A and B are shown apart, each in its own frame.
Chain A
């Protein structure tokens, strides 16, 4: 008797946690899931957003020589250089250098080393940044951590309050309701969502709550040096000529394989104690930690090979690798993308169900309660269709803003946030059903229109891209097209609001 009443209160509190925690954090979680899903194709989106440059394959040695030459010209007094060698999905040669606290970045033609005059853009990196810290630094990281915790709590409480979901799921008892859409997509993506949320949480909590680092280390740099990710070699302050970097590359490739080097770091270039580190790509293993080898930059003497990692460093980087999904080529990337989309549908269906369930009920309640539900409806719309419009508008902005505009990357991001804000205003202005229908239609239109605007403003429209075998560009267009058609079908199915 007592036991059943305890169970009842437990179920009720779990149900309320799921409902209200899911609602409040669902708005944030949908945005995090959607941008995270897009971030799977960060490199491809960046490629699409820089349409002026389409390189032919370049040997790593050529690219490194080009970077070396340019950095000697423009950054000879820097503390460190970072060179990102061209890869299959990112043919541009990216170099950056750090002097004191300032880091500067240039994009180079990997063959000639000339600074590219392409349009300035954050590219797909913005989605990754928004996904992990909401484009707002440490506060964003805390919010994302909180949302991840609530996501996990929602999984646990969701399973507790509907224990028969698994049975229903496997017996294919699927009804065409918002609740069933929420539950069935939830069961379907449960392993994925559990994995992606927990691994994400490990990464963010390590950033915001570095308790053991505080207790055991004087500073973070010490930790990274001990892990083997940072060199602690101090400059001698004696000038000496740096060896041509491409002379050292074959030594690193002997160790890690031809074409396997992705990053080259140079510490104290032009100093007698310069250190050149080559970092191996991690695209063929899950753990996202690149083996590395260091040489003295003046004498070429081998300083150390780091390919055996502390087992727990490896474990954490293994989880990180499972999160960022760079290990299995396009098969794994598309699987993550699809699972991410279904996760988005799960969250969206839950949010919609919250209001659908209460719509008939609250039409009879007091004005204050009605007002609260009106706000929830509007926030739901802006959180689901609004962020979708903002994401696709970001890609449109990339094509439509003047190419030589000042602060162009920031302007693209301003478009993202500005459009999102406008969808919120629109959601308050229109009646709920109308807002849903119009915003879904808007998303669908922008998605279907993306290949068109791309074809009109660049030389790499859908057909030319396919003709040239540039599938990275064509796939962005095609994916937008497919998603657009699906969203249009969804918009079509929303009942026309009654005229009042």
Chain B
């Protein structure tokens, strides 16, 4: 039981660190889809909770941007030197927006 857990961990770890072409491409596609989604979601959440305007304005102001945020994430997923770098950066941005959103929701 334990050893199979370790084995699958090593297997997954090897895949995630792999620099071979097909793995890189698949990791980049996942970064574009999932990474793009979480970056956009967290950015919208941070905007929604931080802007001190009437809530109607907030909803419609933030509707102007998700396209460009996701586009940026998608392009970086493919433009980053390696897929791992893309994942790291997209998660970094997501973490940043999430913390902003959390802090803002405390202050609400």
Contact = CB atoms under 8 A, between A and B. Distances in A.
Interface stretch (B3-11, B12-20, B38-46, B88-96): B38-46
B58 A212 contact: yes
Interface in B65-80: 66-68, 70-71, 74-75, 78-79
A198 B55 contact: no
Q: Contact residue range for chain A?
A: 35 or more
A205 B68 CA distance: 11
A14 B55 CA distance: 39
Contact of B40 (A9, A209, A223): A209
A209 B67 contact: no
A231 to B, nearest CB: 16
A317 to B, nearest CB: 9
A206 B57 CA distance: 14
Interface in A265-319: 310-313, 315-316, 319
Contacts of A157: 75, 78
Name the residue among A206, A211, A213 with the largest chain B CB count within 10 angstroms: A211
A14 B78 contact: yes
B44 A153 contact: no
Contacts of A499: none
Given A153-B75, A223-B56, A212 B44 contact: yes
Contacts of A213: 59
Interface centre among A9, A150, A209 (most CB of B within 10 A): A209
A16 B54 CA distance: 44
Nearest to B36: A149
Contacts of B31: none
A209 B64 contact: no
B66 to A, nearest CB: 5
B81 interface: yes
B1 interface: no
Contacts of B27: none
A255 interface: no
A152 to B, nearest CB: 5
Interface in A202-216: 202, 205-206, 209, 211-213, 215-216
Contacts of B60: 310, 312-313, 315-316
A226 interface: yes
A216 B61 contact: no
B47, B56, B58, B63 pick with most chain A CB within 10 angstroms: B63
A316 B63 contact: yes
Contact of A211 (B28, B45, B54, B70): B45
Nearest to A198: B67
Contacts of B81: 6, 9
B57 A311 contact: yes
A332 interface: no
A156 B61 contact: no
B55 A217 contact: yes
A400 interface: no
Contacts of A216: 48, 55, 58-59
A385 B36 CA distance: 33
Nearest to B48: A212
B55 A13 contact: no
Nearest to A205: B66
B62 interface: yes
Contacts of B47: 212
Nearest to A227: B56
B57 A310 contact: yes
A223 B59 contact: yes
Contacts of B61: 312, 315
A109 to B, nearest CB: 40
A14 B59 CA distance: 33
B23 to A, nearest CB: 15
24 contacts: A6-B81, A13-B28, A16-B78, A149-B71, A149-B74, A150-B74, A198-B67, A202-B66, A205-B63, A205-B70, A211-B41, A211-B48, A212-B45, A212-B47, A212-B48, A216-B48, A217-B55, A223-B59, A310-B56, A310-B57, A312-B57, A315-B60, A315-B61, A319-B64
Chain A to chain B: the 6 pairs with minimum beta-carbon distance, closest first? A212-B48, A312-B60, A211-B44, A201-B67, A312-B61, A216-B55
Given A310-B57, A313-B60, 16 more contacts: A9-B81, A149-B36, A149-B67, A149-B70, A149-B74, A153-B78, A205-B63, A205-B67, A206-B63, A211-B45, A212-B44, A212-B47, A212-B63, A213-B59, A223-B56, A312-B59
Interface of A: 6, 9-10, 13-14, 16-17, 148-150, 152-153, 156-157, 198, 201-202, 205-206, 209, 211-213, 215-217, 223, 226-227, 310-313, 315-316, 319
